[in-house]
Amino acid sequence: MSLVNYATREITCKIVYYGPGRSGKTTNLQYVYSRVPWNRKGEMVSLATDSDRTLFFDFLPLELGRISGFTTRFQLYTVPGQVYYNATRKLVLQGADGVVFVADSQRSQFAEDIESFRNLQENLLEHGIDIREIPVVIQYNKRDLPNTFSVAYLEEELNFRNVPSFPAAALHGKGVFDTLRSVSEGVLRKLARKLNGSTDAITPEVDRAGKR
């Protein structure tokens, strides 16, 4: 759920990178973070578990413009990939305005892709969100590795809602910003529709002085 800070004239939107373990979620965020100028990003926070971790940082993408006089700031999160951290996945997903599903293109990881995508739908429903009602982008990562399924096959098996999708090799930066730009634009389009209609879905953020 987007947060509106009237003191700074900023709207903060949350985007969550979801997917199976070691599919490249962390690599995506690390690449974005390394390319965003220091004066447009916050500190990256890493919450480590035994075999996985959750990353977070926020940044100000100036090139995406303003909505109703507000600048837009994005918070990017990853979720733990392992199934037994589902409680953390669910917590991180709460309040998301958009989702990037990072699929591992390797044939050996296809079952994990399917399981994780189903888990995403289940956890969204637990938050009262139909996956058709939130901007989702699929990234087919690790296209630079051998023994991968074709993008066409992955599209047929995973992208049954025909959402935007991109091939990627996140370790080298390929497809990383295309994916981020697509989900960001989807979030902003939805936000603009809400602001032009009702603002019931927008949560005002009170500044430190208690003023709006």
pTM above 0.85, yes or no: yes
- Enumerate the β-bridge partners of residue 132: none
Q: Would you say 45 and 128 are in contact if contact means Cβ atoms under 8 Å apart?
A: no
- Burial grade of 44 (CB within 10 A; 0-12, 13-18, 19 or more): middle
Give the model confidence (pLDDT) of 70-88 as tens digits. 889 999 999 987 766 888 8
Return the number of other C-beta atoms located less than 10 Å from residue 150's C-beta. Answer: 12
Amino acid identity of residue 206, one-letter, is V
Structure tokens belonging to residue 97 = 């305005």
CATH annotation of 3-205: 3.40.50.300
Structure tokens belonging to residue 197 = 């209609």
Please list the ranges in the chain whose pLDDT falls under 70.
49-53, 65, 83-84, 197-212
How far separated are the first and last CA of the chain, in Å rounded?
A: 18
